[in-house]
Amino acid sequence: MSRIGLSPIEVPTGVEVSISDKNLVTVKGAKGELYQKIDPNITVEVVEGNILVKRNTEQKDHKAKHGLYRSLLNNMVEGVSKGYQKQLELVGVGFRASNQGQILELSLGFSHPIVFELPDEIKVSTVSERGKNPIITLESYDKQLIGHVAAKIKSLRKPEPYKGKGVRFVGEYIRRKAGKSAAK
């Protein structure tokens, strides 16, 4: 029994949910509009300001998709009403970040700067204070897209375990290793 799939999703005020006959769920809110195609074996209903997700059979695949689509719809409702935010921290000497609109320019210790163009759905801001690590803040209403873009930026220079240099999420713990010990 899917505990996640059984719980209803409360639709806050200002959010519109519509379901087409092709199993396409559209969620509109103050921050934006998102779409999700639903498997034909899963039914979605809007009842008294709540979204209910139900499965037709008890097959293992249908049970798994029951919880999956409930979580995806919940993320859509939360995204268009509140939005999501991810913060990345650049740890390393000389690491810098700046943005010009949707273009993010990173200096990560390579011989050249990295220019990263962001989608229009994501708002980016960079903060560089003296004596502190530069911080990149990403904001969007699409949880999947913001997670994908943040992972892509992080993959440009993953944090290494010896000195901890690289791009990491704010508050992320990096497990450190001991370096070579001095030979006697």
Q: Could you give the CA distance from residue 174 to residue 89 in angstroms, rounded to a whole number?
A: 12
pLDDT tens digits along 52-82: 999 888 898 898 899 999 999 999 999 999 9
Number of structural domains, the chain?
A: 2
**What is the extent of the structural domain holding 108?**
84-169
Question: Which of 118 and 184 is assigned the larger pLDDT?
Answer: 118
pLDDT at 179: 83
Q: Could you give the CA distance from residue 142 to residue 160 in angstroms, rounded to a whole number?
A: 29
Q: How far is CA 89 from CA 95, 134, 138, in A?
A: 10, 6, 12
Q: Could you give the CA distance from residue 155 to residue 161 in angstroms, rounded to a whole number?
A: 15
Give the mean pLDDT of the chain. 91
pLDDT tens digits along 66-124: 999 999 999 999 999 999 999 999 999 999 999 999 999 999 999 999 999 999 999 99
pLDDT at 154: 95
- ∠ CA 50-53-58, nearest 5°, is 155
Which of 58, 81, 104 is at the close of a domain? 81
Regarding whether 14 and 75 lie in a shared domain, the answer is: yes
Q: How far is CA 137 from CA 18, 154, 155, 167, 168, in A?
A: 31, 13, 16, 13, 12
Regarding whether 130 and 61 lie in a shared domain, the answer is: no
Q: Could you give the CA distance from residue 13 to residue 18 in angstroms, rounded to a whole number?
A: 14
Beta sheet of 24-28, edge-to-edge order:
16-19, 24-28, 33-37
For β-strands 123-127 and 135-140, DSSP reports them as antiparallel
| Domain harbouring 56, CATH code | 3.90.930.12
